[in-house]
Amino acid sequence: MQALMPEPQIYVERTLAIIKPDVINKEVEIEDIILRSGFTIVQKRKLQLSPEQCSNFYVEQYGKMFFPNLTAYMSSGPLVAMVLARQKAISHWKELLGPSSSIVAKETHPDCLRAIYGTDDLRNGLHGSANFSSAEREIRFMFPEVFIEPIPTGQAAKDYLNLYVIPTLLKGLTALSKKKPADPFIWLADWLIENNPNTPKLRQNVIVEEP
């Protein structure tokens, strides 16, 4: 009898997307393209960064000739930061964005987002994380409260539930049966929030929200 092959573990990735200051008026239009391209917008916020915060965000570009202009541009007005999720989110979002230079994008990939919404090498309209480690760092920068972990599906999801979710839920149901509160649903929800073993430690928020 032929042995069954194990179900492959497929993970949903997260990546950071930024609608830059000069195209923020196209926010609704761009979000529609994102959703129609198979992404889920997990987190979203509108904010304005200071030049110092932009320097910290683009620390990997520090020392390059365009760095001062980049930080000045990114701090020139409000922007929209989003956490996008789907399978292979990082590579799919990079493909949708196109080349980093909008001038090149207009010539080689005229249908990509940077060709449509960008202007030149600097003002290219949108940002996307380069790889997984960059996505993790950038998401934590923009959303310090977000817990970054690949989202499992299939058998991996079942294993995750059995290992991390069900034990905590059983403890909560046991406590619920002993407490017998007037509103069991609200009580259990509050208990799970207070006793979640995976609650991340919040870092100090370095983002300046738009007034």
Average pLDDT over residues 113-129: 96
Q: What's the length of the chain?
A: 211
How high is the pLDDT of residue 154? 62
- Rounded to the nearest 5°, which phi and psi values hold at 32? -65, -40
Ordered structural domains, the chain, with CATH: 14-142 (3.30.70.141), 154-195 (1.20.890)
Alpha-carbon 204 to chain mean position:
18
> ∠ CA(117), CA(121), CA(14), 5° rounding?
60
- Tell me: pLDDT of 98 over 60: yes
pLDDT, tens only, 26-76: 999 999 999 999 999 999 999 999 999 999 999 888 888 999 999 999 999
Q: Which of 4, 3, 11, 1 is nearest to 157 (CA)?
A: 11
Query: Residue holding tokens 């909560």?
Result: 172
In terms of C-beta distances under 8 Å and separation of at least 24 residues, what long-range contacts does 158-166 make, across chains too? 164/197, 164/198
Alpha helices in 7-59 (DSSP H): 27-36, 51-57
Find the catalytic residue in 86, 94, 106, 127. 127
How high is the pLDDT of residue 207? 43
For residues 7 and 136, which has the higher predicted lDDT (pLDDT)? 136
pLDDT-wise least confident of 106-110, 189-193, 196-200: 196-200
Question: What's the Rg (C-alpha) of the chain?
Answer: 21
Is 127 considered catalytic here?
A: yes
Using CA atoms in the order 95, 150, 130, 103, what is the torsion angle rounded to 10 degrees? 30
User: In which band, very low, low, confident or very high, does the pLDDT at 198 lie, cut at 50, 70 and 90?
Assistant: low
pLDDT, tens only, 154-188: 665 666 667 667 788 888 888 888 888 888 888 88
Average pLDDT over residues 90-102: 96
Provide the pairing of β-strand 11-19 with 79-87.
antiparallel
